Structure 1
Amino acid sequence: MNLFDDIRALVLTALDEIEAAGGLPAGLDRGAVTVEPPRDAAHGDMATNAAMVLAKPAGLPPRTIAEALAGRLAADPRIASAEVAGPGFLNLRLAPGVWQGLVRAVLTAGAGYGRSALGAGRRVNVEFVSANPTGPMHVGHTRGAVFGDALARLLAFAGWDVTREYYINDGGAQVEVLARSAYERYREAHGLSPEIAEGLYPGDYLIEVGEALKAEYGDRFLNRPESEWLDIVREFATERMMAMIRDDLALLGVEMDVYSSERALYGTGRIEAALDTLRGMGLIYEGVLEPPKGKTPEDWEPREQTLFRSTLHGDDVDRPVKKSDGSWTYFAPDIAYHYEKITRGFDALIDIFGADHGGYVKRMKAAVAALSQGRVPLDIKLIQLVKLWKNGEPFKMSKRAGTFVTLRDVVEQAGPDVTRFVMLTRKNDAALDFDFDKVLEQSKDNPVFYVQYANARVNSVLRRAAEAGLVVDDATLAAADLTRLSHPAELALARKLAEWPRLVEIAARANEPHRVAFYLYELASDFHGLWNRGNDDPALRFVQEGHPDTSRAKIALARSVGVVISAGLGILGVKPVEEMR
């Protein structure tokens, strides 16, 4: 049930009636007609822009349309009043029975309340994390992992068929560095002093890899030339690093559906096939690029390269796919990988990158637009940095990792649920401060605690009701006499619940799961406000001694809040707390 959609349908029906009566020209496009919460709650429950968007094509003053529409809408029993404001906005107030019925709808739908058919079963691939397999995941990966998983959950809730994918960047020079670093730890396992030269990975996490290499291969590679061990050690170390990454993701409750390897693209003809497809479109050519901005003729050497004509698909400059020495650029396997995702039949692609990939967005979108001939949209979300604080100071780096704070460091101190929620309290492209002291404190300023406390309070209401001998299962509560919910604060809370289905669709359309966290905080705030009113006004308490019918109605409202909080936390990947300790 989406109450905003229901009222919009009522508005469209009223417009049909006005048109049939000759009050509007036939055939007007009504796609831009909306029904949404007013900016100021004092103006009403909902507002529609119908008169404003139809006035110009209809050749009529907005107020003329708005007044005609108001008259039609006011005849519906769901509409308590329809008031024209300003040049032609129409503010609507709904009858109390609508909000009372909303509580019943929430309890009847249960966990399904707010689920949407927006995605219509279309297939979307969400690629996220995709960290280089060279060590444990750091705090930046943590935010990307949380964002990606929450987005996948949100899209599934909104009706998409979602595939979570991890692209293993095992085809570049970084895995060669990993192999050499692991080899030094292998030497160390044999009692030799490791030579951790500049450029190698210094983290202690590779000690275990060195010991495992010794257990597997003995002294076979000691004092042997690199050509004899590099490939074997690279594969061995990469597999160990990916096992570590999977364990790190599991700490956050993140599971991937697919792991794809960059290395698997090389020597298989898959890169060539993707570029041949572009070549067949006239988008691959041999040429020389202009000097990058800021370069002078003295430090710029023009070289003929194989280029992708990405400017035809919105990029600023054409992009090299093969260097002058015949080797592939980093961009070439990425083109092939995305071509492979397109051929798997996805209807939409989403890539989640670190903030340092900002310059990669246009070229990747251009490649997907070309390869899919505009059929498959690609949305790229950039994840900004996380700054860690503890005791009022920046959190120190992890000795085990060598150069950074790991995902495991964060989760072990804050817990997976707190980590996930806090990582979603800012939009993905905004920097985020993660203060270990604040995220664990029990106050309104800590959104994790505030939302969980609301859910715990709902469960405390249910426990107290059961102790009082009241039957409080959802079916019984849904059948309660909800007309007993009449106080403005109670109806206001029901109005907030009505926003949930609409919020889900807005967040899913924009690929913005942080909106769910924001909404949950607002819903919790409204619930706590009603709870606190009950401290001063006994008539607003959820359990009314000696009045079982009234109690059931009020408990139904509290329980409906719990239903929505649980659903929202499920999208965020956070377990609801039933009791605060």
Structure 2
Amino acid sequence: MTLFTRFTAHVDAALDALTAAGTLPADLDRRNVTVEPPRDASHGDLATNAAMVLAKPAGTNPRALAEALAGALRAIPEVAEVSVAGPGFINLRLHDDVWRKEIATIVGEGNDYGRSTRGQGVSVNIEYVSANPTGPMHMGHCRGAVVGDALASLLEFAGHKVIREYYVNDAGGQVDVLARSVHLRYREALGQDVGAVPEGLYPGDYLIPVGQALAQEFGDLYAAAPEAEWLALFRTRAVAAMLVLIKDDLALLGIHHDIFSSEAELQAAKKPEAAEAVLRARDLIYDGVLEAPKGETPEDWEPVELPLFRSTKFGDDQDRPIRKSNGSWTYFGADMAYHYQKAENADQLIDIWGADHAGTVKRIQAAVAALTEGKIRFDVKLVQMVRLLRGGEPVKMSKRAGNFVTLADVVREVGKDVVRFTMLTRRADAQMDFDFAKVVEASKENPVFYVQYAHARVHSLHRRAAEAGIAASAADLSRLDTEELALVRFASQFPRIVETAAAAREPHRIAFYLYDLAAEFHSLWNAGNDRPDRRFLVPDDHAVTAARLSLATAIGQIIRNGLAIMGVEAVTEMH
């Protein structure tokens, strides 16, 4: 139980007592009651909005209710002072021993400090990356990959069962283009002069080894054969080769999915037909004619009757066709079935999409709501593009890839941890610049460096204390003063940050918190630059050093835990 959940329980107990006394009605909804740090630290250590939230439904005055609640909270041994502010906010100041005990809790729980059971084992399917299997990963895929993977780790840390999934779009026209591009490289491997790669095919050199492998396996069997004889085979082999590339690239970022779901297999298993049958049974699909395109109507447009999903019943601006006029599935029809399949095996769904897919969010949310009768929570997190710079100048494209900068090249240049941390230093829906010069800069303005430097300082302190024969075990934490305990107060917010970030599906909050924690730690550390008595290591005062070493140990532990959620390793020294 964290400090915040413990005091939430104290507030609940106080409310129970007021209910038993007849001051409050028994059926009050307390879900919006919070216990959190006050916005102004000078007001206290904790604050609750209980009186403000409950007074109106209880038919009482919020200030009067706050005074009654404050009286009950004053009886808690850990509470030094309770005050009522404004119209009814309640502020609590805790005894210093609470914060000293929190240091022991952090160190004692170690890698589990901040871990929560709030998720209650609820299963969450997170689908992320899901790039078309037509080539290696590029930096356009990177941010969504990191956000999705960090979110998965965050939800696991918060007590959820998580399924990491990648959807392989291997049934569309783009994989036919891939097969034709590979056939060109196959003929090239056989010694044919294929000239420049024609417009419309994939030009990247990464397809050369695929063509060579096919030439070695089949010789010239398909060199002059009609497309109908080799297209399906080359498509299967090319997609398999691209998935190897994709998995290798993701592994460079420390990303591994639990499931790779195939769109082709989904359609072969008749999942779209099953989803259509469910919706028709609920009168949510009908045969109708789409409205003419807005603006000037194309000359070749003619009204065609199609099966339409009633997405307008769920907030969409128009009903959506699930099949084309030739009977094949629309992108929406296939995606609808895919989400139906995911919902059969998870309690909640999350999709990580590029911002260019924003227009399809409502229709897929409508489909999930219809297919699951609103029983499955479904969130879509949109991720903005990343602009690559080097010293402020746009980065040129990769020759090997053909027309983009590969993820592998970026990771090999700056490292996995720098890439992952940087991708989480802004909200996913905010645009981002990734400057190769700045992300490796040794300055406070570079969050990656600043947080890692804090952890390296803790490790350095342990090494120097050991050389001086000082250990943190059995430290007298009463030697910590007000400034040092203020750092503990901030550190103790980590479990709450984990829970709120998980509830909001926002892993960047962990990065933001770690930066602020590092800033508080560096500030305390740097106070020793001018005052030797404020240093963490005071050679002639082993008791103070041991207490400060315990404090630093706790800070280092939280940094490691937060970085682990982000998929970043905590360094022990800076180079």
Give the TM-score of the pair, scaled to structure 2: 0.97
Q: Tell me how far apart the structure 1 counterparts of residues 554 and 107 of structure 2 sit (CA, whole Å).
A: 6
Query: What SS does the corresponding residue of 2:343 show, helix, strand or coil?
Result: helix
Q: Tell me how far apart the structure 1 counterparts of residues 553 and 57 of structure 2 sit (CA, whole Å).
A: 46
Question: Is the contact between residue 455 and residue 571 of structure 2 (CA under 8 Å) also seen in structure 1?
Answer: yes
* Bigger mean CA deviation after superposition, 537-546 or 205-214: 537-546
Query: What SS does the corresponding residue of 2:321 show, helix, strand or coil?
Result: strand
**1:56-135 superposed matches below 5 A:** 56-135=56-135
**1:132-147 superposed matches below 5 A:** 132-147=132-147
Q: Tell me how far apart the structure 2 counterparts of residues 237 and 392 of structure 1 sit (CA, whole Å).
A: 37
> What amino acid sits opposite 1:235 in the alignment?
T
> What amino acid sits opposite 1:66 in the alignment?
A
Question: Is the contact between residue 45 and residue 92 of structure 2 (CA under 8 Å) also seen in structure 1?
Answer: yes
Q: Tell me how far apart the structure 2 counterparts of residues 272 and 218 of structure 1 sit (CA, whole Å).
A: 40
Once the two structures are superposed, residues 40-98 of structure 1 have per-residue CA deviations (whole angstroms, 9 ceiling, x without a partner) of 22222221111111221222222112222223222322122212211111222111111
The CA deviation at 1:555 is 0.7
Gaps in structure 1 of 5+ consecutive residues: none
Once the two structures are superposed, residues 424-452 of structure 1 have per-residue CA deviations (whole angstroms, 9 ceiling, x without a partner) of 11111111110110000100000000000
Match of 1:499 in 2: 493
Match of 2:477 in 1: 482
Q: Tell me how far apart the structure 1 counterparts of residues 484 and 247 of structure 2 sit (CA, whole Å).
A: 46
Q: Tell me how far apart the structure 1 counterparts of residues 157 and 60 of structure 2 sit (CA, whole Å).
A: 41
> What amino acid sits opposite 2:151 in the alignment?
L
Q: Tell me how far apart the structure 2 counterparts of residues 270 and 84 of structure 1 sit (CA, whole Å).
A: 59
Which one of the candidate residues 509, 531, 556 is aligned to 1:562?
A: 556
Q: Tell me how far apart the structure 2 counterparts of residues 53 and 319 of structure 1 sit (CA, whole Å).
A: 42
Q: Tell me how far apart the structure 2 counterparts of residues 143 and 158 of structure 1 sit (CA, whole Å).
A: 22
Q: Tell me how far apart the structure 2 counterparts of residues 387 and 158 of structure 1 sit (CA, whole Å).
A: 32
Match of 2:418 in 1: 418
Q: Tell me how far apart the structure 2 counterparts of residues 532 and 466 of structure 1 sit (CA, whole Å).
A: 21
Q: Tell me how far apart the structure 2 counterparts of residues 350 and 324 of structure 1 sit (CA, whole Å).
A: 31
Q: Tell me how far apart the structure 2 counterparts of residues 159 and 29 of structure 1 sit (CA, whole Å).
A: 24
Q: Is residue 2:173 matched to residue 1:173?
A: yes
> What amino acid sits opposite 2:386 in the alignment?
V
> What amino acid sits opposite 2:478 in the alignment?
T
Query: What SS does the corresponding residue of 2:322 show, helix, strand or coil?
Result: strand
Q: Tell me how far apart the structure 1 counterparts of residues 287 and 131 of structure 2 sit (CA, whole Å).
A: 32
Q: Tell me how far apart the structure 2 counterparts of residues 87 and 142 of structure 1 sit (CA, whole Å).
A: 48
Match of 1:538 in 2: 532
* Bigger mean CA deviation after superposition, 103-112 or 29-38: 29-38
Query: What SS does the corresponding residue of 2:375 show, helix, strand or coil?
Result: coil
Query: What SS does the corresponding residue of 2:81 show, helix, strand or coil?
Result: strand
* Bigger mean CA deviation after superposition, 289-298 or 537-546: 289-298
The CA deviation at 1:298 is 5.9
Q: Tell me how far apart the structure 2 counterparts of residues 258 and 427 of structure 1 sit (CA, whole Å).
A: 27
Q: Tell me how far apart the structure 2 counterparts of residues 244 and 407 of structure 1 sit (CA, whole Å).
A: 11
Match of 1:431 in 2: 431
Match of 1:218 in 2: 219
The CA deviation at 1:15 is 2.5
Match of 1:12 in 2: 12
Once the two structures are superposed, residues 304-346 of structure 1 have per-residue CA deviations (whole angstroms, 9 ceiling, x without a partner) of 11111122223221110111221211112212221211222x1
Question: Is the contact between residue 126 and residue 148 of structure 2 (CA under 8 Å) also seen in structure 1?
Answer: yes
Q: Tell me how far apart the structure 1 counterparts of residues 271 and 73 of structure 2 sit (CA, whole Å).
A: 60
The CA deviation at 1:275 is 1.2
Match of 1:150 in 2: 150
Q: Is residue 2:280 matched to residue 1:283?
A: no
The CA deviation at 1:183 is 0.9
The CA deviation at 1:292 is 4.0
Q: Tell me how far apart the structure 2 counterparts of residues 294 and 355 of structure 1 sit (CA, whole Å).
A: 25
Match of 2:462 in 1: 462
Q: Is residue 2:305 matched to residue 1:304?
A: yes
Match of 1:408 in 2: 408
The CA deviation at 1:33 is 1.3
Q: Tell me how far apart the structure 2 counterparts of residues 417 and 397 of structure 1 sit (CA, whole Å).
A: 23
> What amino acid sits opposite 1:484 in the alignment?
R
Query: What SS does the corresponding residue of 1:322 show, helix, strand or coil?
Result: coil
The CA deviation at 1:300 is 4.6
* Bigger mean CA deviation after superposition, 503-512 or 326-335: 326-335
Match of 2:389 in 1: 389
* Bigger mean CA deviation after superposition, 320-329 or 73-82: 73-82
The CA deviation at 1:296 is 4.0
Q: Is residue 2:325 matched to residue 1:324?
A: yes
The CA deviation at 1:519 is 0.5
Percent of pairs with identical residues: 60
> What amino acid sits opposite 2:177 in the alignment?
V
Q: Tell me how far apart the structure 2 counterparts of residues 336 and 27 of structure 1 sit (CA, whole Å).
A: 42
CA 1:482–1:295 in 2, change beyond 3 Å: closer, same or farther?
A: farther
Match of 2:261 in 1: 260
CA 1:199–1:2 in 2, change beyond 3 Å: closer, same or farther?
A: same
> What amino acid sits opposite 1:132 in the alignment?
N
Q: Tell me how far apart the structure 2 counterparts of residues 30 and 464 of structure 1 sit (CA, whole Å).
A: 50
Q: Tell me how far apart the structure 2 counterparts of residues 261 and 294 of structure 1 sit (CA, whole Å).
A: 37
Match of 1:374 in 2: 374
CA 1:13–1:268 in 2, change beyond 3 Å: closer, same or farther?
A: closer
Q: Is residue 2:522 matched to residue 1:521?
A: no
Query: What SS does the corresponding residue of 2:349 show, helix, strand or coil?
Result: strand
Match of 1:337 in 2: 338
Q: Is residue 2:546 matched to residue 1:552?
A: yes
> What amino acid sits opposite 2:230 in the alignment?
W
Q: Tell me how far apart the structure 1 counterparts of residues 350 and 194 of structure 2 sit (CA, whole Å).
A: 42
The CA deviation at 1:22 is 4.2
**1:345-360 superposed matches below 5 A:** 346-360=346-360
The CA deviation at 1:233 is 1.1
Query: What SS does the corresponding residue of 2:91 show, helix, strand or coil?
Result: strand
Q: Tell me how far apart the structure 2 counterparts of residues 297 and 186 of structure 1 sit (CA, whole Å).
A: 40
The CA deviation at 1:27 is 3.3
Q: Tell me how far apart the structure 2 counterparts of residues 292 and 99 of structure 1 sit (CA, whole Å).
A: 65
Once the two structures are superposed, residues 500-524 of structure 1 have per-residue CA deviations (whole angstroms, 9 ceiling, x without a partner) of 0000000111111000000000010
Q: Tell me how far apart the structure 2 counterparts of residues 17 and 340 of structure 1 sit (CA, whole Å).
A: 48
Q: Tell me how far apart the structure 2 counterparts of residues 112 and 21 of structure 1 sit (CA, whole Å).
A: 39
Question: Is the contact between residue 204 and residue 400 of structure 2 (CA under 8 Å) also seen in structure 1?
Answer: yes
The CA deviation at 1:295 is 4.8
Query: What SS does the corresponding residue of 1:419 show, helix, strand or coil?
Result: helix
> What amino acid sits opposite 1:499 in the alignment?
Q
Q: Tell me how far apart the structure 2 counterparts of residues 172 and 556 of structure 1 sit (CA, whole Å).
A: 58
Q: Tell me how far apart the structure 1 counterparts of residues 200 and 483 of structure 2 sit (CA, whole Å).
A: 62
Q: Tell me how far apart the structure 2 counterparts of residues 447 and 511 of structure 1 sit (CA, whole Å).
A: 21
Query: What SS does the corresponding residue of 2:437 show, helix, strand or coil?
Result: helix
**1:193-208 superposed matches below 5 A:** 193-194=193-194, 196-208=197-209
Query: What SS does the corresponding residue of 2:442 show, helix, strand or coil?
Result: coil
Give the TM-score of the pair, scaled to structure 1: 0.96
* Root mean square deviation of aligned Cα: 1.6
CA 1:546–1:383 in 2, change beyond 3 Å: closer, same or farther?
A: same
> What number of residue pairs does the alignment pair up?
574
Question: Is the contact between residue 391 and residue 438 of structure 2 (CA under 8 Å) also seen in structure 1?
Answer: no
> What amino acid sits opposite 1:126 in the alignment?
I
Query: What SS does the corresponding residue of 1:219 show, helix, strand or coil?
Result: coil
The CA deviation at 1:270 is 2.3
CA 1:212–1:461 in 2, change beyond 3 Å: closer, same or farther?
A: same
* Bigger mean CA deviation after superposition, 150-159 or 205-214: 205-214
Q: Tell me how far apart the structure 1 counterparts of residues 68 and 344 of structure 2 sit (CA, whole Å).
A: 52
Match of 2:189 in 1: 189
Q: Tell me how far apart the structure 2 counterparts of residues 299 and 509 of structure 1 sit (CA, whole Å).
A: 49
